[in-house]
Amino acid sequence: MKKIAVVLSGCGVNDGSEIYESVLTLLALQSAGVEVQCMAPDMEQMHVINHYTGQVAEGEVRNVLVESARLARGEIIDLKEANPEDYSAAIFPGGFGAAKNLCNFATKGADCSVNAVVRQFASALHQQGKPLGFICIAPVLIPKILGSNIHLTIGKDLETAQAVTAMGGCHDNCEVDSFVVDEKNKVVSTPAFMLATNMLQAKSGIDKLVLKVLELR
């Protein structure tokens, strides 16, 4: 069976991939006995957040691929080098990096655009009939990459749900320990830390998402 791609967006909830969500995704995949390849776009982050103060680190610049390598223990590739033919599915953990680096939803809302390399990779997998999983805020990518009328969830946040709807998505409210699946399009999403207050809550939904993605291959 082909590998599962895990697409990262940096390292740290406020400017990159949410660390707990990323690790829980990798743990669930490893527990299922599948081979995983982490990847990330080679680009500058939108900005750098000091996770101790919560403030922007003025003048500091970091690279999404380099930062993502921290999460992957160095076992990572540049997303533009990933051949969609080599993968049977892809999962996108959340964290603000998904909304700041993989796309610019954090600043543009419903008028956002997706990084070209991210869009091309995910679109190619989708066109090949391969499932895609999106965690936390990452589902905002779905309408911009895959088109309108796909069912998805970001949990219960009204403002974000309205933006998703404005982009053409079909938002379904969802509890933290569950997920939403669009069977026709093979797209799975779960709220994780859009609702979770601890790792165990996030794990409950992520585990189910991973199993559903693997089932849809």
pLDDT digits 0-9 by tens, 47-103: 999 999 999 999 999 999 999 999 999 999 999 999 999 999 999 999 999 999 999
9 confidence band (pLDDT: 50, 70, 90): very high
Tokens of 64: 């999404």
Q: Using alpha carbons, select from 99, 131, 117 the residue that is nearest to residue 216.
A: 131
180 DSSP β-pair partners: 189
What domains lie within the chain, and their CATH numbers? 3-215 (3.40.50.880)
Q: Quick check: pTM over 0.95? A: yes
Number of H helices, E strands in the chain: 8, 9
| Identified catalytic residue from 103, 136, 170, 174 | 136
Q: Using alpha carbons, select from 187, 190, 86 the residue that is nearest to residue 144.
A: 187
Strands (E), the chain: 3-7, 36-40, 76-78, 87-92, 132-135, 151-152, 170-171, 180-182, 187-190
Mean pLDDT (whole number) for 10-32:
98
Is 136 an active-site residue? yes
Q: Assess contact for 173 and 141: CB atoms under 8 A.
A: no
